[in-house]
Structure 1
Amino acid sequence: MKTTLFLLAVFLLLAPARNAFFDQKCLKLKGRCVKSCQKNEELVALCQRALKCCLVLQPC
């Protein structure tokens, strides 16, 4: 029982750090975190809270 409570506490403390990592990855790719991508954008990564990291498509 103590082990379960300890693991739960650890996971709750690590959740914000993990979410910040996803947003930082999106910014590094020069994308933006939005609910859904537009027609001229592609999904390149995931952000926190079920948002998508979208990047404008570059013409060939």
Structure 2
Amino acid sequence: MRMFFFVFAVLFFLAPARSAFFDEKCYHLKGRCVKSCQKNEELVALCGKSLKCCLTLQPCGKSKD
């Protein structure tokens, strides 16, 4: 029974740390955590709390010379 409480406590305290890890990864990619991406954004990673990391699409580098 002690082992059950120990495992429960470890999982309970690690859950926020795990979601913060995903959020930090998203911000490092210069994305933002939202419920759904807009038309001009692409899904690049996942965030905590079932959010998606969306990054604005960059236009291709065509020059008008």
The percentage of aligned residue pairs carrying the same residue is 72
Q: Distance in 2 between matches of 1:13 and 1:52?
A: 23
Give the TM-score of the pair, scaled to structure 2.
0.86
Across the two proteins, how many residue pairs are aligned to each other? 60
Q: Which residue of 2 aligns with 1:56?
A: 56
Structure 2, unaligned runs of 5 or more: 61-65
Partner-residue secondary structure (3-state), 1:11: helix
Structure with greater Cα Rg: 2
Q: Distance in 2 between matches of 1:50 and 1:16?
A: 13
Q: Which 4+ runs in 1 deviate beyond 6 A?
A: none
Structure 1, unaligned runs of 5 or more: none
